[in-house]
Amino acid sequence: MIYLQVTRGVADRSFDMPKNEIQPTVLAFTQEKKIIESEGAKNGIKVMTLDDMRWKRCDIKTTQLLYASMAKTEATLKGFDDAWMIRQGYITEGSSSNAWIIKGKIIMTRHADNLILSGITREAIFKCAKDLGYEVVTKNISLQDAQSAHEAFITSATAFIMPVVKINSNQIGDGKPGKFTTALRSEYIKQAIATAI
């Protein structure tokens, strides 16, 4: 895996944006990690829910990831793999992923607004789902909607599509990765490899 991070650049310590032109700073590192053949993809992951305590510009990708780190840490300490955040009764997203559910042959995720980071993988899922004949609906998803879903999954650049088999104490479906999620993951990987540089 190669991770790239681009900042606005180096400037004097001040809270206003630099008025002069500055050069962006680029940081990159590699990490060896199983992405396609992972345990989570094979067996599914468990998520717990937490209040979304982040600021209201979650659509801006920054290095300010303190609450996401706190949420993920709390989830793992309690035996879960990740956390889904809830604001005003609706799921926004995971600590570093987008949240999705499936009911019948309809895939649902939150609409893109300032309360989620839409994500490039999220955008790719719309095409993959359409290619497989699924309908994707963007809407507010309540915890009750999620816990009664036939399937659930997360998406991110490093997880691709990861099946969710438990939300809090509720098992999703039969507690195993669902057939639609599995098919969607395969299609995403196929399309990603076909378009890779």
Q: Is residue 13 scored above 90 in pLDDT?
A: no
Residue 61 appears among annotated catalytic residues: yes
Query: Percentage of residues in the chain with pLDDT exceeding 90?
Result: 76
CATH number 3.20.10.10 is the correct assignment for the domain at 35-195: yes
Mean pLDDT estimate for the chain: 93
Q: Is the CB of residue 57 less than 8 Å from the CB of residue 67?
A: no
Looking at the chain, the number of H-run helices and the number of E-run strands are 5, 12
Q: What is the dihedral of CA 155, 158, 161, 165, to 10 degrees?
A: -90
Distance CA 55, CA 102 (A): 28
Q: What is the pLDDT of residue 153?
A: 98
- Would the pTM count as exceeding 0.85? yes
Which residues lie across from 142 on neighbouring strands? 90
Q: What local confidence, expressed as pLDDT, does residue 29 receive?
A: 92
Task: With a cut of 90, say whether residue 84 has pLDDT above it.
Answer: yes
Closest Cα to residue 97, out of 162, 188, 150, 165? 162
Which listed residue (56, 61, 105, 127) is catalytic? 61
| Radius of gyration of the chain from its Cα atoms, rounded to whole angstroms | 18
